[in-house]
Amino acid sequence: QVQLVESGGGLVQAGGSLRLSCATSGRTFNTNRMGWFRQAPGKEREFVAAVSRSGSSTDYADSVKGRFTISRVNAQNTVYLQMNSLKPEDTAVYYCAAGIRFYSRDYYREPTYDYWGQGTQVTVSP
């Protein structure tokens, strides 16, 4: 089992920045892929960003490309999501996810992730 705990969410004005953290514990060798997803009110959960185990491969949803950066520090068992130039449409609950399978082109698919955090709320005011 892998436990995931997100932190860093909050209320920010449009144009501002936040950095989300995801601390992992347990069988962290099973975190070959890590991802961030989000769910806005009344909408389905959607992919935001993903990173491979080494950190050398990253991918982003088109809606956040150029504004968000995903990274991981394996020595600290932590994954980060730096969010800049935030927009009101970024308002959502953000979830951290970990997957056992190695990084591949299906990084955006939820079923490829085995463990999920409880989520952290991000609210961007106009």
pLDDT in tens, 60-77: 999 999 999 999 999 999
Cα–Cα distances in angstroms (integers) from residue 87 to residues 14, 41, 61, 71, in the given order: 5, 15, 15, 21
**Residue 29: pLDDT above 80?**
no
pLDDT tens column, 77-120: 999 999 999 999 999 999 999 999 999 999 999 999 999 999 99
**Residue 28: pLDDT above 90?**
no
pLDDT at 81: 98
Other Cβ atoms less than 10 A from the Cβ of 71: the count is: 15
